Amino acid sequence: MAMESKTGSSSWLRWLLIGWFVAGTIDIVYATGFSYLRSGVAPERILKYVASGALGPEALNGGAGTALAGLGFHYLNAFLFAIFFFAVAGKIRQLIEKPILMGAIYGIGIYVVMNYVVVPLSLIGPRPTPPTIVWTTGLLIHMFGIGVPIALAARKAIEGD
């Protein structure tokens, strides 16, 4: 593996999985919790909405299996963002020299890509700009709950534990 850390590929993989799982979990806990507390939307509905990006609007009427598919799609996206950062950081070491700053910037990039590229191109399609509280908290979660954990994990993977 080209991006081995000082302690080997098993450490690199372990930190990739940790970064991915932490970032993905923080994001989905935020999304489901915030939607429930703000609007009373059940977590299962949020997961079905995620699934609707790949399965279409009929996913909103699906059952537990559709919600589980949504959770799977969510973690797949998180994994792709994590592995991308790890791959680039393996080549551009400056990304892990300041993992809080670089992770926050990466989180902004993830937010922009998800909201202005992935979702509009998915079966969900373009959406109106959400209320200020929704996009600001979403942006902050992407910065500090997604980007930063991925960057910190990449630093551990590349520099060694």
Amino acid at 21: F
Using the predicted structure, report yes or no on whether residue 39 has a pLDDT greater than 80.
Answer: yes
Distance CA 144, CA 81 (A): 14
pTM, entire model: 0.92
Scored b (16 or more CB within 10 A) or e, 136-157 reads eebbebbbebbbbbbbbbbbbb
- Best CA proximity match to 158, nearest among 20, 9, 24, 18: 9
CA–CA separation, 26 and 144 (whole Å): 10
Residue 106 has a CB neighbour count (10 Å cut-off) of 25
| C-beta of residue 36 within 8 angstroms of C-beta of residue 42 | yes
pLDDT for 75-126, tens place per residue?
999 999 999 999 999 999 999 999 999 999 999 999 999 999 999 999 999 9
Phi and psi of 6, rounded to 5°? -60, -25
User: How many Å apart are CA 74 and CA 59, to the nearest integer?
Assistant: 14
Q: Tokens 């915030």 correspond to what residue?
A: 34
Confidence of residue 154 (pLDDT cuts 50, 70, 90): very high
Contact by Cβ (8 Å): 148, 103: yes
- pLDDT tens, residue by residue, 48-69: 999 999 999 999 999 999 999 9
pLDDT at 2: 47
